[in-house]
Amino acid sequence: FCSLSLRFSLTLRGGETEKQRYFFRKENRVRKRADFLYAYEHGVPYRRKGLHVFICPRESSELPTRLGITVPRRVGKAVVRNRLKRLVREVFRLALPFLQQGYTIIVNVGPAARQLKFRDLQSCLHSIWRQAGIWKE
């Protein structure tokens, strides 16, 4: 058994620690409206269980894969919307080492996704990423 402090101090290849590897960094976030609109226009859409996911290749396959999340007000009050955003962000953060570089992923969460638990959301997004061919086997 490994304590949290010890586990996070382990050094991986390239001098990167495990804690750094699993951060959700600024370069992994979609922040600009123009980037969202570009992904909607040029990305491939996938739908599952109240999720509408757009996956769009970036200008270069060397750029990091990044995530954008939208949850409209009709899904629920702020507490519900923020919870869903946290869950999607956590699924992405944990899956990031297994996703190919150079993609923009936009996840639009619909009202049907309110009932999803973490494991359901995780399996749903993983299956979409596998179907899209961006999951490293």
User: Smallest Cα–Cα separation from 91: which of 22, 26, 11, 45?
Assistant: 22
Q: Which domain holds residue 91?
A: 25-132
**Within 13 Å of residue 111, how many CA atoms lie on the same side as its CB?**
5
Beta strand spans in the chain (E): 44-48, 51-57, 66-70, 103-109
pTM of the model: 0.82
- Would you say residue 105 lies in a domain? yes
Residues in a beta bridge with 44: 55
Mean pLDDT of 110-127: 95
- Would you say residue 67 lies in a domain? yes
- Would you say residue 80 lies in a domain? yes
- Would you say residue 13 lies in a domain? no
What does the alpha-carbon distance between residue 28 and residue 19 come to, in Å, rounded to a whole number? Answer: 15
Residues in a beta bridge with 117: none
- Would you say residue 45 lies in a domain? yes
- Would you say residue 92 lies in a domain? yes
Is pLDDT at 115 greater than 80 in this prediction? yes
- Would you say residue 5 lies in a domain? no
Q: What is the pLDDT of residues 35-94, one digit of tens each?
A: 999 999 999 999 999 999 999 999 988 999 999 999 999 999 999 999 999 999 999 999
Q: How many domains does the chain have?
A: 1
- Would you say residue 99 lies in a domain? yes
Q: What is the CATH number of the domain that holds 35?
A: 3.30.230.10
Predicted pLDDT of residue 5: 39
